[in-house]
Structure 1
């Protein structure tokens, strides 16, 4: 187990690629947490360094300091990843770990405090220290692809909320069917059948919608 590294203000600023004056300004704006005090000496750690690098990356992507402060506040009050993923529950989905700047790069110009809060409320995002965890690589890839096609992230998240409601109802119906005729141990084993039915029915529904349009 390695000891946590700590830095004086000058060293932290150098590692972060900023000036000491800028570091002081960020601290005054509460963009970074207060340092640990030892007498008159302020000690910073890797958490501060990661936050400073995130601030720099977000500024380069056009975010304002006010917007970054709001994003940081949303992350500080976000759901813990353990609550999000449910460590005791088996899942077929692959969680994805991202830094805040990687998330901003995925959704260029769309990572606002409102969208971040909506994604956390929906259960898509959780926090783990300085990292953000998305609950599903597939959902992350689809969401970012839709945004690249010009669909606002806020509308993608709203659609995701509606899909979640329908998916919960379908999962409940399938679980009741299985439990009525087999046992609880069979629910996990038979879940691929439920997924196949939903995928096939959605495909057929899209076929019907395309025929109407044509």
Structure 2
């Protein structure tokens, strides 16, 4: 315990306090010997980094609980499932750097529920680099992260319906999943074109109303 505390730059008393608050996992025990590993050190460094960023211990405890009970990366991405998205591996403190004081337990839990985030050992995995970058950009524009996530949930509902529609269109007539994968870019082109025209209509309405 003394060695772990020294490596983490904290006192043994602080380490015991973190254990009592269940901010770190219990050590592996062999008889009366407690073994700590790199995951414990990583968690302690994360706690220190989040404290430096202004997070409270209560908030960190809630984040840790959500993190520990989040879906793993295999569940998030689907083992062997085709995807065009690039996952992003993040430490909890890196995620806090993206979203500042909006990296709250509530928003973290909402991201887990939405499927944007999963876990892989001591790391957080965001399902899509593009979605992460867009989310961060919208937050920088002053849009609350909670609102962005709520909008993302609605977008997910609509895109699921569109994917179901296109799948039914392609698979009918005896086509195979391979055909669906081959024709996938056509679905994306249709959605992109329709969204572009819909945004044109909204912009015209906004101009007329101003």
Match of 1:43 among 30, 35, 38: 35
Matched, 1:200 2:193: yes
- Count how many residue pairs are aligned between Structure 1 and Structure 2: 206
Matched, 1:33 2:25: yes
Structure 2: stretches of 5+ with no match in the other structure: none
Query: Deviation of residue 112 (structure 1)?
Result: 1.4
Q: Aligned-residue CA RMSD in angstroms?
A: 1.2
Matched, 1:168 2:160: yes
Structure 1: stretches of 5+ with no match in the other structure: 1-8
C-alpha distance after superposition, 1:150-198 (max 9, x if no partner): 1111110100000000001111111111112461221001111110111
The residue correspondences of 1:79-90 to structure 2 (distance < 5 A) are 79-90=71-82
Query: Deviation of residue 38 (structure 1)?
Result: 3.8
Q: TM-score, normalised by structure 2?
A: 0.94
Q: TM-score, normalised by structure 1?
A: 0.92
Matched, 1:73 2:65: yes
C-alpha distance after superposition, 1:113-165 (max 9, x if no partner): 11111111111111111111111110011011111111111110100000000
Query: Deviation of residue 46 (structure 1)?
Result: 0.7
| Regions of 4+ moved over 6 Å | none
The residue correspondences of 1:38-117 to structure 2 (distance < 5 A) are 38-117=30-109
Distance in 1 between residues matched to 2:35 and 2:190, nearest whole Å: 57
